[in-house]
Amino acid sequence: MFYKSTRNSDVNVTSAQAIAQGISEDGGLFVPSEIPAISLDDIKALGEKSYAERALFIFSKYLTDYTEAEIRYCVEGAYNTKNFDTENIAELAHLFDGTYMLELWHGPTCAFKDMALQILPYLLTTAIKKINLDKKVVILVATSGDTGKAALEGFKDVPGTEILVFYPDNGVSAMQKKQMTTQEGENVGVCAIKGNFDDAQNGVKAIFTNKEIGEKLSENGMMFSSANSINWGRLAPQIIYYVSSYAQLVKDGEIEAGEKINIVVPTGNFGNILAGYYAKHMGVPVNKLICASNANNVLTDFLTTGIYDRNRPFHATISPSMDILISSNLERLLYHLSGGNDAQIREWFGALAASGKYEVSDDVKTMLRDEFYAGCCDDTQTKATIKEYYDKYSYTCDTHTAVAVKVYEDYVKATGDKTKTVIASTASPYKFSGSVLSALGNTADCDEFGLVEELAKVSNIPVPASLAALKDKEIRFTKVIDKTEMKDFVFNSLYVK
């Protein structure tokens, strides 16, 4: 298995090179040269295995330059009860008849990003050894809230690495900010920027693809890599939990092998739902991929019309991890749907950079409609959904999961489709306690940790130990900069002159 760049199909690198590098030098994203197939017999066999063993099987299809021993080292180091509070790693909660919550937030930072970012340091450090790199790897991260903390926790004190995280100053929840600004570790740095997530993401990409900056780093014995989902090593682990969920449903007798399911994903950067697309095209029987957006509904409009237009108001919502107007992973999907047409990708994403807008071809529009359904909801609807599901099912959703639930309800009303459905639940409600309590009609006036205590009373969900421990942690990182100062912050942090 080799990896191509979405902007230059002549690029041909191993998975180790793709993971170590993070992004292609031409600015494109690495994609597998083909999507490997798995059979229903494979899926049924996976039902009898642990999550780590399921991961080993899927990674062996994509990381063919890694030995079995290397992959086993990675999966066993990441997917265990030391890192996750459940033996199943990815829990399936039976919400109501034929509808299941895929709880992806049982890791150390209480968000779905842990599913990938607990293993990425293993994959990356193994890759560095495989390709004989003798440079320190500098991980640059732009975050809308969850990726930053998950990456910081994953790479904390990992030898041979430094990690620098940028987040929008007023674009994350109080708990997310507390998680990042109190981060421990000798190799970590955190900085807020004046702007939104897209500003942070664009700044990181600009630094990545600036040859002068890269050369300066190289002179100082360092190189960049990424922990955002632009890195294939971040995206590949997300495929596993969709394969695993289907295998588990078959094992539990909830579905028959071969029976199709729907997958609903709340997403901003399109990585989590793209992982569902890969799982489907590997052989997991998926009927429809349902893309849920908040008020920043650029993906809803795109999947409906085929026109991507980021020229619109940016909304700061109660589901901040989805407050994104430039969805990076669409580039991978469109590369596949266009038949690997790198010239077309350069044209579309060149137009996005220049004018903030592009329109895909009619055949791609047809494929998008066949694969996806898209919907969105605003904060008022999100809160109403949290209250409805708490009252009906005694289930407490976070503000992102509730977006997915609302869009799924709209999908069923619009289509009448009764296919059994897995909804990706992407974060613990405790990461957004104030908004969840407000939705439930609780107007407690207290600080973030008082809100956590209030939510514990009404939700009957144990407070995650990692969040409770934040209360007395010292804040280490307070710097706020303009987005134009990101390069200087990187150089100053790394003592590069």
What one-character DSSP code corresponds to residue 432? G
Instruction: Give the C-alpha separation, 231 to 228, whole Å.
Output: 6
Average pLDDT value for residue range 313-334: 95
What are the DSSP E strand ranges found in 33-184? Answer: 91-96, 99-103, 136-142, 161-168
Tens-place pLDDT, residues 252-292: 999 999 999 999 999 999 999 999 999 999 999 999 999 99
**Residues 6+ away with beta carbon under 8 Å from 349:** 7, 331, 358
Judge contact between 324 and 296, C-beta under 8 A.
Answer: yes
DSSP 46-81: HTTS-HHHHHHHHHHHH-TTS-HHHHHHHHHHHSST
Confidence of residue 497 (pLDDT cuts 50, 70, 90): low
Four-residue CA torsion sign, 91, 94, 100, 103: negative
Q: Is the model's pLDDT at 496 over the cut of 90?
A: no
Tens-place pLDDT, residues 16-67: 999 999 999 999 999 999 999 999 999 999 999 999 999 999 999 999 999 9
Which tokens in the block code for residue 141?
């991260």
For 243, 256, 285, the CA distances from 40, given in Å and listed in that order, are: 11, 10, 9
Instruction: Give the C-alpha separation, 213 to 265, whole Å.
Output: 36
Judge contact between 324 and 198, C-beta under 8 A.
Answer: yes
pLDDT at 208: 87
pLDDT at 443: 86
Instruction: Give the C-alpha separation, 202 to 144, whole Å.
Output: 13
Task: Kindly report the average pLDDT of the chain as a whole number.
Answer: 96
For 6, 356, 432, the CA distances from 260, given in Å and listed in that order, are: 30, 37, 33
Judge contact between 386 and 396, C-beta under 8 A.
Answer: yes
pLDDT at 86: 95
Average pLDDT value for residue range 97-101: 95
Judge contact between 106 and 427, C-beta under 8 A.
Answer: no
Instruction: Give the C-alpha separation, 479 to 389, whole Å.
Output: 39
- The angle at the Cα of 201, spanning 427 to 477, to the nearest 5 degrees, equals 70
Instruction: From the candidates 4, 113, 130, 149, give the one annotated as an active-site residue.
Output: 113
Instruction: Give the residue among 264, 268, 239, 49 at the shortest CA–CA distance from 146.
Output: 268
Tens-place pLDDT, residues 222-233: 999 999 889 999
Instruction: Give the residue among 360, 413, 356, 407 at the shortest CA–CA distance from 385.
Output: 407
Q: Express as a percent the part of the chain with pLDDT over 90.
A: 95
> What three-state secondary structure class fits 86?
coil
Tokens 């066993």 locate to 76
pLDDT at 209: 87
CA 30 to chain centre: 16
Judge contact between 377 and 294, C-beta under 8 A.
Answer: yes
H-helix or E-strand spanning residue 30 = strand 30-32
Which tokens in the block code for residue 433?
């306690």
Judge contact between 207 and 224, C-beta under 8 A.
Answer: yes
SS3 percent helix, strand, coil of the chain, rounded to 5, is: 50, 15, 35
Tens-place pLDDT, residues 396-429: 999 999 999 999 999 999 999 999 999 999 999 9
- 406 has catalytic annotation: no
DSSP 199-264: HHHHHHHHHHT-HHHHHHHHHTTEEEEE-STTSHHHHHHHHHHHHHHHHHHHHTTSS-TT--EEEE
Instruction: Give the residue among 90, 204, 186 at the shortest CA–CA distance from 148.
Output: 204
Long-range CB pairs of 407-413 (<8 Å, 24+ gap) are: 407/264, 407/266, 407/290, 407/291, 407/292, 407/293, 407/374, 407/375, 407/376, 407/377, 408/99, 408/262, 408/264, 408/290, 408/292, 409/385, 410/375, 410/377, 411/262, 411/264, 411/288, 411/290, 411/373, 411/375
